[in-house]
Amino acid sequence: MSNTDITLGDLINFPFLAVFLAFIPLYYVLKTPPIHPKGCRRLGLPPGQSNLDDEFDPKYSEGFPSDQKDQGLPSWRVKALFSYPLKSCGAVELQVSNVVPTGLEFDRQFVFAEYSKDEWNIRTLRNAGFNRLALIHPEIWVPDPSASDYDTNLSEVRSGGVMLISYPRLVPTGWNGLPMKIGMTLKICTSRHAFQVPLHPPPDSNFPLVPVRIWKDKPLAHDLGCLLPGSLHAYMGFDPKTSPLTLFRASAPHTRQIFRNAPRKEDLGFQPNTAFADAYPIHLLSLSSHKDVAARCAYAIPRLSVRRFRANIIIQGPAAFEEDHWRRLSIGATEIHASCRTVRCRLPNVDPESGDRHKAEPDRTLKAYRRIDDGDRTNACLGMQLVPAKEAFVLRVGDEVRVLENGEHRYIKMLAPGEIVEGV
């Protein structure tokens, strides 16, 4: 497992040296080769490509009959798929995804946590001071037997692949930062650090199982904190000497069982569960519903992206908020239960592109007209929480969406009456 973590602080101590390096051999000092995990291939769409490139097209504000065709495709269909391997960090956009018992494969399997009040507590974009999570980008690399450097003895292969994590370099202020700024402008050096962690801790690895608090649960998870480079601690504003920040990987035998609004084990044949998702395996959002919200808060955020709401499945076709009353649907050939509406927090106030947190929107707009669920009249709803009727299947962009049953929903709160949890 190799890390790329170049720091110039020890090299650049004087202004004249900074100027000198700015014009002489920047290439040899700053050049950082890209990391390509051995024997693996990258999952997801190619960089710069997205099925949401046209998300601001006005046509998505309209609803269409479910039996209508759109250029030969079903009018109600999956528009885009997203996995969030590292909770509250960047997304991996997919054209096709395996679905496993915890949701989309690799979704929310990793999480950062801070040690406070004598225990590890997960940290997300909801938490004050953690906006920088938005600019941390994970990539999933899986073993590829067709790769020229593939070898079953590689650590990357033995761990079932790796997650590559990148984040912005912190540029020194003043003259000391000049060579790095020039190097990044000229693309002589990268603007981001990167390191990798195993997707699945190998049996002979030493990543201890440690309890970590997420809402009311404290599942055991693998502590991968020993792999975090010092530059990541610095980027997040932590002191690596005291290491109050760590990275957890969910443990398959210790996933969190889902009850509340989820269908029962006797109905499904298995107990619904999830890793580090807040509550349910899959989150669905309709483009027309999102555009209704976006139009109402355009005064503050002219181009509110659907990405802010961090859904796994983005669909097109239904009219705005038609999904509010879905109870069962099918996506492709798989039956899926719509367990409850998604009760929103202030997390979408953070722009995933910049990491900036808006002081009011879209939370204020949502609460003005979307507090619609009798189970929680304090918070707004947007989107649906899903539990598939199968433990394993495949989702694809373009899969048809059909409603099998409509009905009423009443959200069951995660917290007990009067209970307060940090970060809510």
pLDDT tens for residues 257-277?
999 999 999 999 999 999 999
pLDDT exceeds 60 at position 31: no
- Specify the 3-state DSSP secondary structure of 195: strand
If one counts the domains in the chain, the total is: 1
pLDDT of residue 117: 86
Cα separation, 287 vs 54, in Å, equals 11
Query: Does residue 5 lie in a domain region?
Result: no
Cα separation, 343 vs 375, in Å, equals 10
Q: Are 142 and 199 in contact (CB under 8 A)?
A: yes
Query: Does residue 150 lie in a domain region?
Result: yes
Query: Does residue 424 lie in a domain region?
Result: no
Cα separation, 401 vs 81, in Å, equals 14
Q: What is the pLDDT of residues 204-234, one digit of tens each?
A: 888 999 999 999 899 999 999 999 999 999 9
Helix (H) or strand (E) holding 18: helix 15-23
Q: What is the pLDDT of residues 378-421, one digit of tens each?
A: 999 999 999 999 999 999 999 999 999 999 999 998 754 454 54
Q: Take residue 337 and report the two structure tokens written for it.
A: 């239960």
**C-beta atoms surrounding 415 within 10 Å:** 11
Query: Does residue 296 lie in a domain region?
Result: yes
φ, ψ dihedrals at 182, nearest 5°:
-65, -45
pLDDT of residue 24: 44
pLDDT exceeds 50 at position 9: no
Cα separation, 388 vs 393, in Å, equals 9
- Specify the 3-state DSSP secondary structure of 209: strand
| 165 beta partners | 138, 195
104-113, 158-167, 185-194, 286-295: which has the minimum mean pLDDT?
A: 185-194
pLDDT exceeds 50 at position 132: yes
Cα separation, 39 vs 240, in Å, equals 31
pTM as predicted: 0.89
φ, ψ dihedrals at 42, nearest 5°:
-85, 135
Q: Take residue 220 and report the two structure tokens written for it.
A: 């055991």
State the pLDDT confidence band at 16, using cuts at 50, 70 and 90.
Answer: very low
Q: What is the pLDDT of residues 343-377, one digit of tens each?
A: 999 999 999 999 999 999 999 999 999 999 999 99
pLDDT exceeds 60 at position 1: no
Q: Average pLDDT in the 328-357 region?
A: 96
Neighbouring C-alpha atoms within 13 Å toward the C-beta of 320: 15
CA quadruple 82, 381, 339, 403: dihedral, nearest 10: -80
Q: Smallest Cα–Cα separation from 382: which of 330, 304, 329?
A: 304
Q: What is the pLDDT of residues 140-197, one digit of tens each?
A: 999 999 999 999 999 999 999 999 999 998 877 777 777 777 777 776 777 889 999 9
**For residue 132, how far is the Cα from the chain centroid?**
13
pLDDT of residue 244: 92
Cα separation, 420 vs 424, in Å, equals 8
Q: What percent of the chain has pLDDT over 70?
A: 89
pLDDT of residue 284: 98
State the pLDDT confidence band at 7, using cuts at 50, 70 and 90.
Answer: very low
pLDDT exceeds 90 at position 319: yes
Query: Does residue 11 lie in a domain region?
Result: no
State the pLDDT confidence band at 8, using cuts at 50, 70 and 90.
Answer: very low
| 111 beta partners | 248
State the pLDDT confidence band at 27, using cuts at 50, 70 and 90.
Answer: very low
* SS3 letters across 393-413: EEEECCCEEEEEEECCCCCCC
Q: Average pLDDT in the 94-113 region?
A: 97
pLDDT of residue 318: 98
pLDDT exceeds 80 at position 303: yes
**C-beta atoms surrounding 268 within 10 Å:** 16
Q: Are 108 and 87 in contact (CB under 8 A)?
A: yes
Query: Does residue 3 lie in a domain region?
Result: no
pLDDT of residue 207: 95
Q: Between residues 172 and 10, which one has the greater pLDDT?
A: 172
Residue ranges making up the domain that contains 180: 51-406
Query: Does residue 91 lie in a domain region?
Result: yes
Residues 6+ apart with CB under 8 A from 124: 87, 88, 111, 130, 133, 347, 423
pLDDT of residue 103: 97
pLDDT of residue 33: 60
Look at the alpha carbons of 315, 318, 320, 323 in this order and tell me if their dihedral is positive or negative: negative
Cα separation, 106 vs 275, in Å, equals 9
Q: Between residues 35 and 369, which one has the greater pLDDT?
A: 369
Q: Could you list the beta-strand ranges (E) of 207-360.
A: 209-213, 220-223, 245-250, 256-257, 273-274, 282-286, 313-316, 326-331, 334-343
| 392 beta partners | none
CA distances in angstroms from 2 to 152, 204, 301, listed in the order given: 18, 18, 41
22-36, 67-81, 220-234: which has the minimum mean pLDDT?
A: 22-36
Query: Does residue 17 lie in a domain region?
Result: no
**For residue 151, how far is the Cα from the chain centroid?**
30
Residues 6+ apart with CB under 8 A from 71: none
pLDDT exceeds 60 at position 28: no
Q: Are 313 and 306 in contact (CB under 8 A)?
A: no
DSSP single-letter state for residue 269:
S
